[in-house]
Amino acid sequence: MKLYILLFSLTIFLIPAHAQQHTSDQVKYYTDEWTCERYPDGRPKVSDDLLKRIKNISIEEAWGVLRGKGYHNQFEGGWEMLHEDEPFVGRALTAQYMPLRPEFQKRSMDKGHKEGRIGAMNSWPIDMLKEGDVYVADGYGKIKNGTLIGDNLGNSIFAKTKTGVVFNAGSRDLEGLQKIEGFNAFVRGWDPTYLMESMLMGINAPIRIGDATVFPGDVVLAKREGVIFIPAHLVEEVVINAEFIGLRDQFGISRLKAGIYTPGQIDGRWSEEIKKDFLKWLDDNPDLLPMSRKELDAFLEKRTW
């Protein structure tokens, strides 16, 4: 049995990957901790409800939970943004680019076209995008002659995803992209040149974006401070933890304003009296809950106050 498992694991990485899409088995291997619904390509399908809720969470709140879980390499800052104050969120579809090797690019292009792919290689990941996806590409920081999209591809991306892009690379057509209402882009820089001397090496592969490791299906939270890539299996915990802290803060402020407790009591470890008061406050204010009461109760059972 052990030999069978070893051989199966090896076959996942020995499948010919000519340059393009990683298999669903490979993606499942990278994201094995996810136990819920997946896309046909293997990517975790985090619910639309969680995506909507996580957009209200700060980068710091998400970072704190991930840090506590031992994930220290999920954030990257230092971006040029199409719109600074328009955050976006979605499920990562990843792409990896490398400097051109002409013989390999030709072989990959020929194989891709035989398999039904259309046009240039930098359009192939875009053809796979679905609503709620974020196109995340490692273009090895190349800006001049490293522009992965212009306004034509930008319009195609937004029509499919309704979100934006995160590129460790450049982009062109800044003015044209700004006209796409609701679209945002986090890139390394803007340049009028076309994409040259680069080739697509992988779709739905693990990639590096600066200091961050990104797996296909990670949830992308892009805000003014930067971008954090949240492993799919931790998204729910990140969301509920942040929402709970928000509720706790609302309760604390209301009780401080009423003079019921001192700042030391609220900011420190809560007494049993305060815990009971907080639970009663939740019962009295159900409309304030951003999560279901079932989710909150399950969270509170595991939490050390």
Joined tokens for residue 96: 């990896």
Question: How does pLDDT run along the chain (305 residues), one tens digit per residue?
Answer: 444 444 444 344 444 444 578 999 999 999 999 999 999 999 999 999 999 999 999 999 999 999 999 999 999 999 999 999 999 999 999 999 999 999 999 999 999 999 999 999 999 999 999 999 999 999 999 999 999 999 999 999 999 999 999 999 999 999 999 999 999 999 999 999 999 999 999 999 999 999 999 999 999 999 999 999 999 999 999 999 999 988 999 999 999 999 999 999 999 999 999 999 999 999 999 999 999 988 888 888 887 76
Joined tokens for residue 68: 């506590």
Query: Looking at domain 48-230, does it have CATH number 2.30.110.10?
Result: no
The predicted pLDDT at position 19 comes to 52
pTM (2 decimals)?
Answer: 0.88
CA–CA gap between residue 29 and residue 9 (Å, rounded): 8
- Domain limits, the chain: 48-230, 236-302
CA–CA gap between residue 43 and residue 31 (Å, rounded): 8
In sequence order, what are the beta bridge partners of 209?
Answer: 212
Closest CA to 242 of 297, 204, 299, 203: 299
CA–CA gap between residue 261 and residue 253 (Å, rounded): 10
Closest CA to 186 of 90, 87, 98, 94: 87
The predicted pLDDT at position 301 comes to 86
**Pairing relationship of beta strands 226-230 and 219-223 according to DSSP bridges:** antiparallel
3-class DSSP string for the chain:
CHHHHHHHHHHHHHCCCCCCECCHHHHHHHCCCCCCCECCCCCECCCHHHHHHHCCCCHHHHHHHHHHCCCCCCEECCCEECCCCCCEEEEEEEEEEEECCHHHHHHHHHHHHHCCCCCCHHHHHHHCCCCCEEEEEEEEEEEEEEECCCHHHHHHHHHHHCCEEEEEEEECCHHHHHCCCCCEEEECEECCCCCCCEEEEEECCCEEECCEEECCCCEEEEECCEEEEECHHHHHHHHHHHHHHHHHHHHHHHHHHCCCCCHHHHHCCCCHHHHHHHHHHHHHCHHHCCCCHHHHHHHHHHCCC
Half-sphere exposure of 15 (CA within 13 A, CB side): 15
Joined tokens for residue 251: 């309760």
For residue 85, give Cα distances in angstroms to 158, 169, 223, 243. 18, 21, 7, 21
AA identity, residue 42: G
Phi, psi (degrees; rounded to nearest 5) at 272: -60, -35
| Residue the block writes with tokens 């499919």 | 160
